[in-house]
Amino acid sequence: MTLSPSVPSRQKPFILALIGLGLVLPFAVYPVFLMKGLCFGLFAAAFNLLLGYVGLLSFGHAMFFGWSAYLTAYAAKEWGLTPEIAILLGVALATVLGAVVGWLAIRRQGIYFAMITLALAQLGFFVAVQAPMTHGEDGIQGVPRGHLFGLFDLSDTMTMYYFVLAVFVASLLFLHRVVNSPFGQVLKAIRDNEPRAVSLGYEVGRYKLIAFVLSSAFAGLAGSLKSLVFQLASLADVSWHMSGEVVLMTLLGGVGTVLGPMVGAFLVVAIQDFFAGIGSWVIIIQGVIFVVCVLLFRSGMIGVLAPWLKRRGITG
């Protein structure tokens, strides 16, 4: 479950192989589908930093995802800013929101923590319903993808894809670093036994807050990317369904692993795309698959594969 502190030497080729796969896959698979998977994979990885490594279940992560998407979309469309600046603005907003929500929620434990994050995210949802800038039910449509750094035309699907892939890979490597940093060690200690961490002199609240802010920032980054990929920011992005979906993806893939949330996200996105034709039944099918997975593989897909990966020295 936990990754060993020193990266095993055989992990590097595995990571390189995955990146290689990411580079060639859009020639075989519809790139927009892949980008959707990458955006949600990043969202789930950000969420997993909290659930898997601090043991905090946030039920309000749509707030960071959705509001970051709105601001990026608005900045790109109304202010005509370049995509990288629009994304940075979105992430900055998510970071500030994360600091506020985290500060309010972190004193509570377990289900109370989940309830406060949900309540605050609902507040964020109602603001989105009311505020003129979000265009209510319509959302912000026709967001221009623009030119990255004023150079690369992102309206070209392949260029957009490689941009999303680059951001995704860099983010996952960074999150991997966080989890294995001195800070990450303290997080895992808090997750395993909070009173003991206190008795060793750690102000656990501060560690949790920093983790919360980092998690919201990356959730925001995922939302910003998504709004550029689909050229749309809508109420669906800030709704509690979205908060629930990220929980589902993370649990499905395997909580507390670096690969798990990504696998879970692709799975959920694939299910949604595959069954898109049958309308609201997709939710039921998703639910059934979720229940089956939880019953069959209690530690998620990656949890089942872990012994196999471990034997090959890929995960520790």
Partner 1 sequence: MGDEFIVETRSLTKEFKGFVAVSDVNLRVRRHTIHALIGPNGAGKTTCFNLVTKFLTPTKGQILFNGTDITHTQPAAIARHGMVRSFQISAVFGHLTVLENVRVALQRKQGKSFQFWRSGECLNELNTRAEELIEAVGVAEYRDTPAGELSYGRKRALEIATTLALDPEMLLLDEPMAGMGAEDVRRTADLIRRVSANRTILMVEHNLSVVADLSDTITVLKLGRVLAEGSYAEISDNPEVVEAYMGSGHGAAGHG
The contact set with partner 1 (CB under 8 A) reads: 1-2, 4-6, 174, 177-178, 180-186, 188-189, 191-193, 195-204, 206-207, 210, 214
Closest approach of partner 1 to the CB of residue 316, in Å: 10
Contact 215, 40 (CB under 8 A): no
Q: How far is the CB of 225 from partner 1 (least distance, A)?
A: 22
Residue 5: in which H helix or E strand, if any? none
Nearer of residues 44 and 190 to partner 1, judged by Cβ: 190
**Of 42, 198, 215, nearest to 113 (Cα)?**
215
To the nearest whole angstrom, how small is the minimum distance from the Cβ of residue 202 to partner 1?
6
| Residue of 138, 150, 155, 133 lying closest to 74 (CA atoms) | 133
Residue 24 CB, shortest distance to partner 1, in Å, is 30
Query: What is residue 139's three-state secondary structure?
Result: coil
Q: Where are the alpha helices (DSSP H) in 25-156?
A: 31-53, 62-77, 83-105, 110-130
Q: Which is nearer to partner 1, 150 or 195 (CB)?
A: 195
CA gap 132, 237 in Å, rounded: 16
Which two structure tokens, joined as six digits, stand for 269? 């996105």
User: Based on CB atoms, which residue is closest to partner 1, 156 or 203?
Assistant: 203
With vertex at residue 167, the alpha carbon angle to CA 93 and CA 47, rounded to the nearest 5 degrees, is 60
- Closer Cβ to partner 1, 169 or 236, answer by number: 169
Nearer to partner 1, 1 or 119 (CB): 1
Give me the least distance between CB of 212 and partner 1, in Å please: 12
